């Protein structure tokens, strides 16, 4: 067997990279639809920062594709100009600056301000209605983190207990024997990460079944070491954890649903917002979580008191919901959180239907008549059936009138 030198391996990898990049460039140039971007900054353990740009688009068979277009090092400050320059260089590498429909970023101020630089270059398509999207999962993280701060003292004691138990192998083995005596399978619990609220949710959820065993073992060891009783775990700590896990379930489900990359998520966003708003309203007056809910609701309103236009369009093109169903969902959410959505979407009805219909015609003209919402079409729940009934009870839209007005709007969503 011939051993290949590191120089040859390096050269082969660079050659392979260039070949695949050229193939991807050719594929993107032949697209008949626009491209949606997502971008985020990664921090390596070596303290090196990277900016990743990912493209999402429909191929010729109407399958959603996800391609990493660039993973560039950031050797300088995360300023507006630097972020814009890196993303623009990635787009120019593939010659797709004229094909970008939207870009999803987190809520860093530099990311938000960089949108103005893209606008100056006339990069946004479709009148810029969809161009800047805030990452919904990042918003959910900010919302839940604000609530976690209000119950941190109760959670901290549970976190300290499972961290202490798992920090020593002999101690964990003793805890394992304690579990066996109580008829439970020994297991090691992972502590959470401060920047990932869902890890806190999973930590609490996984250890709830072991609450009595953890408390008994931990409190016994504290007593043996002479620690004050104030550090002991109490039934109240576990009760708060149990209620908080039940409360956070809907936020966790929303994060999982909206994190998908191989199925459309824009049509699911408002549904998840409805579920979260309903949960906030339910627990607003709760004695244990009331303060946490107030903090979460304030953060929720900061980002979603104005409903993104893309979310509205995603719901309207769902044949189960349509425009009347959108009005119902917005009214439902507004009533739960005291937000008036009525003036945000209604004035844009005609434009919304024009764009949605024109997008449909683009698929047809490209030979994509098989386009369906097949990922979620079998996931109709009670609320969706209720919305569908409300939608079907409304007046039918005169689509013939709308179709006559589409000719001058096709260029909005079709790259030149």
SS3 287: coil
pLDDT for 355 equals: 55
Q: Of the candidates 146, 86, 97, 147, which has an alpha carbon nearest to the alpha carbon of residue 122?
A: 97
User: What value does the CA radius of gyration of the chain take, rounded to a whole number of Å?
Assistant: 26
The alpha carbon of residue 226 and the mean position of all alpha carbons in its chain are separated, in whole angstroms, by: 46
CA angle 323/324/328 to nearest 5° reads 115
User: Is 161 found in the same domain as 130?
Assistant: no
User: Is 314 found in the same domain as 297?
Assistant: no
User: Is 160 found in the same domain as 225?
Assistant: yes
Q: Residue 392 and residue 321: Cα distance in Å, rounded?
A: 8
Contact 50, 78 (CB under 8 A): no
Q: Residue 280 and residue 294: Cα distance in Å, rounded?
A: 8
pLDDT for 47 equals: 82
pLDDT for 50 equals: 93
**Which of 113, 134, 155 finishes a domain?**
134
Which residues of the chain fall short of a pLDDT of 70?
345-416
User: Is 103 found in the same domain as 179?
Assistant: no
Task: Give the structural domain span for 343.
Answer: 305-412
Q: Residue 408 and residue 7: Cα distance in Å, rounded?
A: 56
User: Is 117 found in the same domain as 97?
Assistant: yes
User: What's the whole-model pTM score?
Assistant: 0.81
pLDDT tens readout for residues 315-337: 887 888 877 888 899 999 999 99
Contact 332, 387 (CB under 8 A): no
Asked, for residue 281, whether it belongs to a domain, the answer is no
CA angle 254/260/266 to nearest 5° reads 70
Q: Residue 277 and residue 301: Cα distance in Å, rounded?
A: 10
Q: Residue 376 and residue 272: Cα distance in Å, rounded?
A: 13
pLDDT for 387 equals: 64
User: Is 228 found in the same domain as 260?
Assistant: yes
């Amino acid at each position: 067997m011939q051993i290949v030198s590191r120089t040859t391996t390096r050269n082969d990898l660079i050659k392979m990279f260039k070949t695949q990049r050229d193939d991807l460039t050719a594929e993107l140039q032949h697209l008949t639809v626009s491209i949606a971007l997502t971008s985020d900054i990664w921090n390596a353990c070596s303290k090196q920062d990277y900016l990743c740009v990912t493209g999402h688009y429909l191929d010729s068979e109407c399958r959603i594709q996800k391609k990493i277009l660039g993973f560039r090092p950031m050797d300088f400050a995360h300023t507006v100009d630097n972020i814009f320059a890196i993303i623009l260089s990635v787009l120019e590498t593939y010659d797709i600056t004229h094909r970008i429909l939207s870009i999803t970023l987190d809520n860093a101020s530099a990311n938000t301000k960089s949108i103005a630089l893209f606008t100056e270059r006339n990069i946004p398509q479709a009148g810029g209605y969809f161009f800047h999207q805030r990452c919904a999962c990042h918003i959910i993280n900010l919302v839940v983190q604000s609530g976690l701060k209000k119950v941190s003292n109760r959670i901290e004691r549970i976190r300290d207990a499972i961290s202490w138990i798992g920090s020593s192998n002999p101690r964990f083995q003793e805890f394992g024997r304690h579990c066996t005596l109580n008829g439970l399978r020994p297991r090691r619990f992972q502590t959470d990460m401060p920047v990932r609220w869902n890890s806190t949710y999973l930590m609490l959820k996984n250890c709830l079944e072991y609450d009595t065993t953890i408390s008994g073992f931990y409190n016994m060891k504290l007593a043996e070491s002479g620690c004050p009783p104030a550090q002991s775990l109490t039934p109240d700590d576990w009760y708060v954890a149990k209620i908080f896990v039940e409360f956070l379930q809907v936020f966790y489900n929303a994060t999982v649903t909206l994190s998908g990359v191989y199925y459309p998520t824009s049509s699911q966003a408002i549904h998840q917002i409805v579920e979260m708003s309903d949960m906030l309203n339910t627990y607003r007056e709760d004695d244990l979580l009331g303060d946490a809910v107030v903090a979460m609701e304030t953060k929720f309103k900061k980002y979603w008191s104005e409903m993104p236009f893309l979310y509205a369009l995603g719901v309207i093109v769902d044949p189960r919901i349509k425009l009347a169903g959108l009005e119902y969902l917005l009214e439902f959410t507004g009533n739960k959180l005291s937000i008036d959505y009525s003036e945000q979407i209604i004035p844009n009805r005609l434009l919304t239907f024009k764009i949605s219909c024109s997008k449909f015609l683009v698929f047809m003209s490209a030979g994509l008549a098989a386009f369906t919402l097949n990922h979620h079409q079998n996931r109709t729940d009670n609320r969706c059936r209720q919305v569908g009934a409300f939608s079907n009870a409304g007046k039918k839209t005169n689509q013939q009138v709308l179709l006559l007005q589409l000719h001058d709007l096709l260029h909005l969503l079709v790259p030149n």
